[in-house]
Amino acid sequence: MTKTPDSQVAIITGAGSGIGKHASILLAQHGVKTFLIDFDSVSGQNTADHIIKSGGESFFEKVDVSQPDQMEKAVNKCIELYGGLDIGVNSAGIAGARELTHSYSISDWNKLIEINLTGVFISMKYQITKMVANGSGRIVNISSIAGIVGLPNASAYVAAKHGVIGITKTAALEYAKNGISINAISPGWTRTDLIKNMIDDESKEKSIRLRHPTERLVEPEEIAQTILWLCTQSPDSLTGAVIPVDGAFTTK
């Protein structure tokens, strides 16, 4: 039986900005206790402060998701603080370099894979360990349209996001019998700081908008709403799914 939101505890990675920030705030607004993780201590604490000032429960911990010892300690601290773990939202990620595959540096490749893919694996590893012991849990991994289709000049990002979908499906199969639902969301181009930094003029934004049949960018609140539904309202049998929230970008 799914707990009510006001009795649930969530760990959200990448909670300082973008999708992770919006998901943290929305979950907290519905009564979920939020344990926030980000490498940027200023933005992460700002999200926690916003939630607390709005009447929610939140705690921030600076963590590099690519470091297993840091993530394991954070999960244990969450358990100590809130007494359990029901939800994992794995949103931490970077855009990485924009280069043709043959020009992509090994160091840039390794950095992106460590954060965007290995970081999701590490986060899931310690989240699932606690959820197996509890006999229930819900995990949402943030992939991308780049996890479904290829995008030029982004080989590492595309590889990582495809990998996120792969590990989501595999873990869903492994832990379905343990009462753990594991799904992925594949956002289209979403209006976050990460994307804003890549769009340096109006013509480029228009070009990106028009790639979506809806002719607009995805709003981060739309992703957050999908996360909330998956974590608190969706049927238990919904697991192993990849949900595009992309204005029909990948339908073409």
In the prediction, which pLDDT does 213 show? 81
**What pLDDT does 1 receive?**
43
- Its domain, for residue 106, covers 5-243
146 within some domain: yes
* Per-residue pLDDT, 170: 98
CATH classification at residue 214? 3.40.50.720
Please indicate, yes or no, if residue 101 is contained in any of the structural domains.
Answer: yes
- Evaluate if residue 140 carries a pLDDT over 70: yes
- Does residue 66 lie within any of the structural domains? yes
pLDDT at position 16 over 50? yes
Residue 17 phi/psi, 5° resolution?
Answer: -160, 170
Active site residue 104: no
Within a domain: 176: yes
Whether 192 and 15 have beta carbons less than 8 Å apart is answered as: no
What's the pLDDT at 197? 61
Does some domain include residue 219? yes
| More reliable by pLDDT, 6 or 21 | 21
Q: What digits encode the pLDDT tens for the residues 52-107? A: 999 999 999 999 999 999 999 999 999 999 999 999 999 999 999 999 999 999 99
Is pLDDT at 229 greater than 80 in this prediction? yes
pLDDT tops 90 at residue 2: no
Rounded-to-integer distance, Cα 7 and Cα 47, Å = 21
pTM for this predicted structure? 0.94
Residue 43 lies in a domain: yes
Q: Please give the pLDDT value at position 200.
A: 63
pLDDT tens sequence across 176-216: 999 999 999 999 888 787 666 666 667 777 888 888 888 78
- Residue 115 domain flag: yes
pLDDT higher at 252 or 1: 252
How far does the chain reach from its first CA to its final CA, in angstroms? 38
Show Cβ contacts of residue 224 under 8 Å, excluding neighbours closer than 6 positions: 19, 22, 23, 25, 26
pLDDT 10s digits, 107-132 = 999 999 999 999 999 999 999 999 99
- Between these two residues, 201 and 157, which has the higher pLDDT value? 157
Which of the residues 82, 104, 126, 157 is marked catalytic? 157
For 164-187, letters b (16+ CB in 10 Å) and e give bbebbbebbeebeeebbbbbbbbb
Any idea what the Cα angle at residue 73 is, between residues 45 and 165, rounded to 5°? 80
The chain-wide mean pLDDT, for the chain, equals: 94
Coil vs helix vs strand at 219: coil
Burial class of residue 208 in the structure, from the number of CB atoms within 10 Å of its CB (0-12 exposed, 13-18 middle, 19+ buried): middle
Q: Give the pLDDT of residue 63.
A: 98
- Secondary element (H or E) of residue 140: strand 137-142
Structural domain tally of the chain?
1
pLDDT (0 to 100) of residue 199: 66
Q: DSSP H helical segments within 116-210, as ranges?
A: 119-134, 155-175, 193-196, 202-209
Please indicate, yes or no, if residue 249 is contained in any of the structural domains: no
